[in-house]
Amino acid sequence: MSIFDQLSNNKGTVSSAFGKVLALKVLQENQLDILMECIDLASYEASAPACRHIRSGAAKLVEIVAEKRPELVAPHLGKLLPALSVREPQTRWAILRVMGFCARLNKPVAQAAIPFAEKYINDKEGLCLASSTDLFLGDLGAISPADAQRVFPLLELSMENLVENEQDWLLEALCKLFQNLDQSGQAEALKFAERWQYSSRKSTRQRAGRIMRLRQ
């Protein structure tokens, strides 16, 4: 049975779990043909809601592989840009994370995803997509001071329009690029961290503390 057929027969959370199983075949058995097929399927029939489980399952595989071995995905990053326009957020948040994981290896394509990130911040469709957007911007801004200056205004916009529990991931993103920010940017990041240093959530306090320890 082809990868397409297998993804077609797995829906919802099962599709995501199946994507993880397929990812192991790529990572442990070097079955790169599976990766290449899933890169194509991440935007399959992009306007068809009935195919969302195919796209999201494929996107989950690509995300897992990109996190572990970004060099396998980075050369094909351009093929994934159309997946950032599909309707279902599951596919979009997975592919945006892929863009972040591969940003250092293919910065021009990763930068092409910035307008999508801006749209996601303006729309704020939920925690998963919002957090993936913040982390993507953090990964991109961690590359260089110029990249940090480019993406930081979007993170500032995100700070002003948080969804519930997004602060953890925004703090994580700020930590990634903090050293590349200018003095003004670092001051804004520290101000945001101070806002959350006494949070009732341990994870939030820890992330805020990491940024505050970076204070010069």
For 189-209, what is each residue's pLDDT tens digit? Answer: 999 999 999 999 999 999 999
Q: For residues 92 and 117, state if they share a domain.
A: no
> What integer is the mean pLDDT of 6-32?
76
- Alpha-carbon distances of 130 from 44, 116, 119, rounded to whole Å: 23, 12, 10
Q: For residues 99 and 118, state if they share a domain.
A: no
**Using an 8 Å Cβ cutoff, are 177 and 152 in contact?**
yes
| Domain containing residue 122 | 113-216
pLDDT of residue 2: 73
138-160: per-residue pLDDT in tens? 999 999 999 999 999 999 999 99
pLDDT of residue 45 exceeding 90: no
Cβ-defined contacts of 194-199 (< 8 Å, 24+)? 196/167, 196/171, 199/167
pLDDT of residue 8: 73
Q: For residues 82 and 126, state if they share a domain.
A: no
Work out how many domains the chain is built from and give that number. Answer: 2
pLDDT of residue 129 exceeding 90: yes
Q: For residues 172 and 192, state if they share a domain.
A: yes
pLDDT of residue 173 exceeding 90: yes
Q: For residues 85 and 169, state if they share a domain.
A: no
Q: How confident is the model at residue 9 (pLDDT cuts 50, 70, 90)?
A: confident
pLDDT of residue 216: 60
**Using an 8 Å Cβ cutoff, are 147 and 180 in contact?**
yes
Q: For residues 3 and 56, state if they share a domain.
A: yes
Share of the chain above pLDDT 70, in %: 95
Q: How confident is the model at residue 51 (pLDDT cuts 50, 70, 90)?
A: confident
pLDDT of residue 106: 98
pLDDT of residue 208: 94
Neighbours of 17 (CB within 10 A): 12
Q: For residues 92 and 27, state if they share a domain.
A: yes
